[in-house]
Amino acid sequence: MTATTDGSAGPLPPRVTSANKTSTPTSAADPVQELEEAAARTAQRATSCLLAAQHPDGWWKGALETNVTMDAEDLLLRQFLGIQDEKTLQAGARWIRSQQRDDGTWATFYGGPGELSTTVEAYTALRLAGDQPDAPHMAKAAEWVRAQGGIASSRVFTRIWLALFGWWKWEDLPEMPPEIIYLPKWFPLNIYSFGQWARQTIVPLTVVCAHRPVRPAPFPLDELHTDPARPNPPRPGVPLTSWEGLFQRLDKALHVYRKVSSRTLRRTALGACSRWIIERQENDGCWGGIQPPAVYSLIALRLLGYDLDHPVMRAGLESLDRFAVWHEDGSRMIEACQSPVWDTCLAAVALADAGLPADHPALVKAAGWMLDEQIIRRGDWSVRRPQLPAGGWAFEFHNDNYPDIDDSAEVVLALKRVAHPEQPRMRSAIDRGVRWILGMQSKNGAWGAFDVDNTSRLPNLLPFCDFGEVIDPPSADVTAHVVEMLAAVGMADDPRTRRGVEWLLAEQEANGSWFGRWGVNYVYGTGSVVPALVTAGIPASHTAVRRAVSWLESVQNADGGWGEDLRSYADTGWIARGASTASQTAWALLALLAAGERDGKAVERGIRWLADTQAPDGSWDEPYFTGTGFPWDFSINYHLYRMVFPVTALGRYLHGEPSLQAAAPLGKAA
């Protein structure tokens, strides 16, 4: 994959894109029959392609591509720990170079604008690999960085990485003391006020910031400062009456606290953080199944005295190697996370909707693997729900501390489509999963991804937290998946389901769409909510459904597909504007099909776009990022999305909406 050259926000793209492939026109007398035949051929090829991608153990996993900060930080970690090897260094550098844009910058998503912090980290990693400042690609990058304000304008996390090597002063960074570990759960800004991904990152970083380590820098980075003699110019003040001003002064107070704090208290707090970190290490050595907490936890534990041969450190380092994807050209890309549970449940739903028999061996094996992945131990979620029995699923291979509601709902939907031979086990797993999901409902009737009522806005205001969303409020897409699942297990009329439906109806945007928290963006939100509402009993004639249909029809691209750029999170002018993609076209089709628009012109054009753009191997080309980690700040290209969602949409076009039998009655806990 190569980066595009258009990096500026520039004018909005027209709703016209060209197809990736050219189809051979037919002269069929019946256009409806011809379209159905084309859809059937497309679905058959895609189904074969998807089946071929299944692992012998029953799971699917596509590559999870983010941005080069993962690669740069992996190399910086190895440099800091003294475990850098030339092969890994050059392989990582080769990937980073391949993603540089023509203007010298690096973006956070395909086709996006250059991003300062990403460019600073990529540049620094290439310096580690031996690229010299006077090389044309490096000089261009440095010039752009200086034009954006230099290192001083980069995010806090980037400057923390630079501080590890003396390229930035620790005292010029926001303070986050390890004593935060002692704040009670009812107190504002305790660690459970943060979303799970932020919590796992912040705790080890408090250890790092308490130690303020500096490893000798192998070279200076003067070329990335606007004025090397004055690298950290004072930042403009903000009014004391504003939240930002209040938290800036809180940060100054924390810097004072560092100087006067009790050494005994600091020492015991560091010990408590150490125990907290180690208790959350997964069986595979990672933390939370995601790369950033693993990186910072390893640095923190090393500073606390754990040597590299300690079992905890050794397992953690080995786990990081499993995030590496080696390419044929010898480059090495680091995945921020791995998505086998998510990919497997979506693939199972897609194949079942495409017409595979419920007892097909591929589906049975996938169901068996998902059953084995159910989490029956308590995690951080139990802080808010201490009496709730466990029963969810995580996103990754190993992440027992943090099952998530979205995966759990989709796994239940997938299991409902499979005729597994161990029916009592299936019913028991579904019952446990549904009970856990119901117990994780927030007080407003909706669902977040990992926690209950994780809605305080205070963590987002901390100067330390400028790396993206750090809380986990309920979202329309997660709530929609839960509502769809509850209806599928016979609970459409349950008061808890109806509260979810009411929340979704209230969250509809003025234009008829829904915001997409975990996928890009309003196309994803709408593609999630409409099928859920209809499955839960909202008629296709309902005003909310009709408004959604009208919106989707109005934003369809001239080529028949749908697309939406990541910039829609930051600029409303980009809503539903972008090159057509297979995944986003499928999301729109899923909504339209659920709304009864199978014979409509928009569906016809969308199905034809999928048929016309399919690659010979049955897949679709999709370099664009359609997944979301943090809205705008962290974007994801799930490489299996281009398969599972088109297969689902084609299947529902050909076979209708799925008809699911209600599960056995749930126990009293539900």
What pLDDT sits at residue 465?
A: 76
Q: What is the DSSP letter of 326?
A: E
Alpha helices in 507-623 (DSSP H): 522-535, 543-554, 582-594, 601-613
Neighbours of 647 (CB within 10 A): 28
Higher pLDDT, 479 or 466: 479
Q: Token pair 């027209």 is at which residue? A: 14
What pLDDT sits at residue 285?
A: 94
**What are the φ/ψ torsions at residue 281 (nearest 5 degrees)?**
-70, 135
Q: What percent of the chain has pLDDT over 70?
A: 92
Q: Token pair 């500096």 is at which residue? A: 214
CA Rg, the chain, in Å? 25
User: In the beta sheet, which residues pair with residue 114?
Assistant: 107
What pLDDT sits at residue 16?
A: 39
Q: Is-contact 434 670, C-beta < 8 A? A: yes
Q: Token pair 């599928």 is at which residue? A: 488
pLDDT at 28 over 70: no
What pLDDT sits at residue 469?
A: 87
CA distance linking residue 42 with residue 86, whole number of Å: 45
Q: Token pair 């139990």 is at which residue? A: 382
CA distances from 423 to 416, 428, 430, 486, 669 (A): 11, 8, 10, 19, 21
Of residues 107, 111, 102, 98, the one with CA closest to residue 579: 111
Q: 139-189 pLDDT, tens per residue?
A: 999 999 999 999 999 999 999 999 999 999 999 999 999 999 999 999 989
Q: How confident is the model at residue 336 (pLDDT cuts 50, 70, 90)?
A: very high
Q: How confident is the model at residue 240 (pLDDT cuts 50, 70, 90)?
A: low
- Cβ-based burial of 460 (10 A; exposed 0-12, middle 13-18, buried ≥19): middle
**What are the φ/ψ torsions at residue 533 (nearest 5 degrees)?**
-60, -45
Q: 387-405 pLDDT, tens per residue?
A: 999 999 999 999 999 999 9
Q: Is 404 helix (H, G, I), strand (E, B) or coil?
A: strand
Q: Report angle CA 253, 258, 262 to the nearest 5 degrees.
A: 120
Q: What is the DSSP letter of 520?
A: S
Q: Is-contact 336 291, C-beta < 8 A? A: yes
Residues with Cβ within 8 Å of 376's Cβ and at least 6 positions away in sequence, in order, are 390, 391, 432
- Structural domains present in the chain: 47-62+339-440 (no CATH), 65-227+239-334 (1.50.10.20), 492-661 (1.50.10.20)
- Cβ-based burial of 235 (10 A; exposed 0-12, middle 13-18, buried ≥19): exposed
**What are the φ/ψ torsions at residue 366 (nearest 5 degrees)?**
-65, -45
User: Catalytic site residues?
Assistant: 406
What share of residues in the chain are helix, strand, coil (percent, to 5)? 50, 5, 45
Mean pLDDT in residue range 195-224: 95
Q: How confident is the model at residue 236 (pLDDT cuts 50, 70, 90)?
A: low
What mean pLDDT is reported for the chain? Answer: 92
Q: By mean pLDDT, which of 211-215, 230-234, 522-526 is the weakest?
A: 230-234
What pLDDT sits at residue 662?
A: 36
What pLDDT sits at residue 227?
A: 82
pLDDT at 192 over 90: yes
CA distances from 459 to 199, 464, 470, 523 (A): 10, 9, 7, 29
Q: How confident is the model at residue 12 (pLDDT cuts 50, 70, 90)?
A: very low
Which one-letter amino acid corresponds to residue 286?
C
Residues with Cβ within 8 Å of 262's Cβ and at least 6 positions away in sequence, in order, are none
pLDDT at 17 over 50: no
Measured in Å, how far apart are the chain's first and last C-alpha atoms?
47
Write out the DSSP string of 601-669.
HHHHHHHHHHHHH--TTS-----S--EEEETTTEEEEETTHHHHHHHHHHHHHHH-S---PPPSPP-TT
Q: Is-contact 79 130, C-beta < 8 A? A: no
Q: 99-127 pLDDT, tens per residue?
A: 999 999 999 999 999 999 999 999 999 99
Residues with Cβ within 8 Å of 246's Cβ and at least 6 positions away in sequence, in order, are 240
The beta strands (E) that lie in 466-545 are given as none
Residues with Cβ within 8 Å of 201's Cβ and at least 6 positions away in sequence, in order, are 292, 293, 296
Q: 565-593 pLDDT, tens per residue?
A: 999 999 999 999 999 999 999 999 999 99
What pLDDT sits at residue 234?
A: 65
Mean pLDDT in residue range 298-326: 96
Going edge to edge, which strands form the sheet with 64-65? Answer: 64-65, 634-638, 627-630
Q: Is 452 helix (H, G, I), strand (E, B) or coil?
A: coil
- Residue 614 corresponds to which tokens in the numbers above? 């399919």
What pLDDT sits at residue 261?
A: 87
Residues with Cβ within 8 Å of 213's Cβ and at least 6 positions away in sequence, in order, are 164, 303
Higher pLDDT, 589 or 657: 589
Give 206's Cβ-side CA count (13 Å radius): 26
Is pTM beyond 0.85? Reply is yes
Write out the DSSP string of 151-171.
GGGS-HHHHHHHHTTTSS-GG
pLDDT at 23 over 50: no
Q: How confident is the model at residue 461 (pLDDT cuts 50, 70, 90)?
A: confident
pLDDT at 658 over 90: no
Of residues 409, 540, 546, the one with CA closest to residue 480: 409
pLDDT at 27 over 70: no
Residues with Cβ within 8 Å of 229's Cβ and at least 6 positions away in sequence, in order, are none
Neighbours of 276 (CB within 10 A): 18
Q: Is-contact 297 208, C-beta < 8 A? A: no
Mean pLDDT in residue range 260-287: 95
CA distance linking residue 67 with residue 623, whole number of Å: 13
Q: 518-535 pLDDT, tens per residue?
A: 999 999 999 999 999 999
Mean pLDDT in residue range 56-60: 98
pLDDT at 3 over 60: no
CA distance linking residue 467 with residue 460, whole number of Å: 9
CA distance linking residue 64 with residue 82, whole number of Å: 28
